[in-house]
Copies of this chain bind each other. A is one copy, B any other.
Amino acid sequence: MAHPALTPEGLRLCREMIAPHVHRTPVLRSRLLDQLSGARLSFKCENFQRGGSYKIRGATHALLQLQAQGDVPAVVTHSSGNFAQALSLAAHSLGIPAHIVMPTNAPAVKREGVRTYGGIITECAPTLEAREAAAEQIARETGALFIHPSNDPMVMLGQGSACAELLEEVPGLDCVVAPVGGGGLLGGTALATAFMAPGCEPVGGEPFAVDDAYRSLQSGKIEGNTGGYTVADGLRTVLGSHTFPVIQKHVRTIIRVEEGEIVAAMRLVWERMKIVIEPSSAVAFAAVLKSPERFAGLQTGILVSGGNVDLGNLPF
């Protein structure tokens, strides 16, 4: 049962609300990568977004919706990745304190990012139970409202605004490929295509190592991961109660890629397009490179989800 806000009008309102707070990022093309892939590629560059990823869209939308309902003393989330930075930045811009629960083993560069953007860090043991307990305790003690990094209808709708912009900028897209982790971006992308361009197919890209979304579509229920390692650190999460139904309804294809394919795709984009994209973004492009028969000649949108990379720890 879909959330009542997940409508064309909901997406329109969301875009209007967040517009003053997010960049309209550029769409880039590359003749050389078109030749190499056989597709006609349009890269939606959320690596140039505020905070370095699309996550600011959903974070901002969730915050503004909360504010529209009443006073928001503070917010809290648990994330060691881009959502932590995005919520810190979005909340800071709106004058709301943001508590971020991060595992003790989160990379220093991520903690630094959160602090730069004004987030208040609480450390916890690196388990899901410890994260959730810490977040609940903060909520109780401070009155902070909890915002999930992906499994939240307002977050998902906000993430869909990136695809909405892409569809407006490149009319006639045959498909849009997005990486899938928690499903916020792919779910939002699927909603945007369904609302604005029903002929455009949303496609997911996912590492083999954490192919829970692929298996969830096959089994018809939310599957977990068994702890496999992937360089695409943003995609280690699983689908949730809000994202899975949307993806199940609208997405027919998830393409899985190997670790080496992710790194090669990332390197190709850095070398040829001269832009810094993170491994999770490379997963979407790797999915296209891997499937020339599927994408041959197609107008293909690629959601470049972000560009937050630890330059001191590159996979090449």
Residues of chain A whose beta carbon lies under 8 Å from any beta carbon of chain B: 26, 47-48, 52, 267, 270-271, 274-277, 307, 311-312, 314, 316
Chain B residue nearest to A274 in the complex (CB): B307
CB distance from A205 to the nearest CB of B (A): 20
Residues of B within 8 A of A52 (CB): 274
Q: Report the Cα distance A270→B308, complex, angstroms.
A: 10
CB distance from A89 to the nearest CB of B (A): 11
Among A47, A52, A307, A316, the most chain B Cβ lie within 10 Å of the Cβ of A307
Chain B residue nearest to A28 in the complex (CB): B48
Residues of B within 8 A of A270 (CB): 276, 311
Q: Report the Cα distance A314→B312, complex, angstroms.
A: 10
Chain B residue nearest to A277 in the complex (CB): B274
B271/A274 in contact, CB under 8 A:
no
A48/B274 in contact, CB under 8 A:
yes
Residues of B within 8 A of A316 (CB): 311-312
Residues of B within 8 A of A314 (CB): 311, 314
- Can you give 20 contacting A-B residue pairs, CB < 8 Å? A26-B26, A47-B274, A48-B274, A52-B274, A267-B311, A270-B276, A270-B311, A271-B276, A271-B311, A274-B275, A274-B276, A274-B277, A274-B307, A275-B275, A275-B276, A276-B276, A311-B314, A311-B316, A312-B316, A314-B314
Q: Report the Cα distance A26→B52, complex, angstroms.
A: 19
CB distance from A99 to the nearest CB of B (A): 24
Residues of B within 8 A of A311 (CB): 267, 270-271, 314, 316
Among A26, A267, A270, A312, the most chain B Cβ lie within 10 Å of the Cβ of A270
CB distance from A108 to the nearest CB of B (A): 14
Q: A52-B274, A274-B276, A312-B316 are in contact. List 5 more A-B contacts (CB 8 A).
A: A270-B276, A271-B276, A274-B275, A274-B277, A275-B276
Q: Report the Cα distance A277→B276, complex, angstroms.
A: 10
Please give me the 7 A-B residue pairs with the lowest Cβ-Cβ distance, nearest first.
A274-B307, A274-B276, A47-B274, A270-B276, A311-B316, A275-B275, A48-B274
